[in-house]
């Protein structure tokens, strides 16, 4: 089974099983990784914002226009930022490493 690594806000590396077909957000929730995902993957917030390790970024499918729009609202936006709800694990992404940003901004609470 593929694995992935979350680098948590405190710098802790957490390697977890990453079943194919699940999103990074779903995998985070299954493994008690602190990603909110307030809109539950409906592309209505940016609280599942992750920063993809640069060596992995070019292997990902391109972000949709809707994802890009939501990323514009993310705190600590980086050039390798993506939404965890939109990253679906495949065998090719075995070992994917993402870092959690220092904070998130929940516009749904606004």
Ordered by start, the domain boundaries in the chain are 3-99
Residue 82, pLDDT score? 98
Residue 38, pLDDT score? 92
CA distance to 11, 26, 98, 106, per residue, from 55 (Å): 18, 22, 11, 28
pLDDT in tens, 44-59: 999 999 999 999 999 9
Residues lower than pLDDT 70 in the chain: 103-110
CB of 64 closer than 8 Å to CB of 86: yes
Determine the Cα–Cα distance for residues 39 and 60; give it in Å rounded to an integer. Answer: 22
CB of 49 closer than 8 Å to CB of 43: no
Domain 3-99 belongs to what architecture?
Answer: Roll (3.10)
């Amino acid at each position: 089974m593929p694995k992935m690594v979350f680098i948590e806000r405190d710098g802790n590396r957490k390697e977890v099983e990453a079943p194919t077909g699940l999103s990074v957000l779903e995998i985070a929730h299954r493994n008690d990784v602190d990603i909110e995902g307030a809109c539950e993957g409906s592309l209505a917030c940016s609280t599942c914002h992750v920063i993809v390790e640069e060596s992995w970024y070019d292997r990902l499918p391109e972000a949709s226009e809707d994802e890009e729009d939501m990323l514009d609202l993310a705190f600590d936006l980086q050039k390798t930022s993506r939404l965890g709800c939109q990253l679906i694990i495949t065998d090719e992404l075995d070992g994917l490493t993402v870092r959690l940003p220092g904070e998130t901004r929940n516009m749904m609470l606004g």
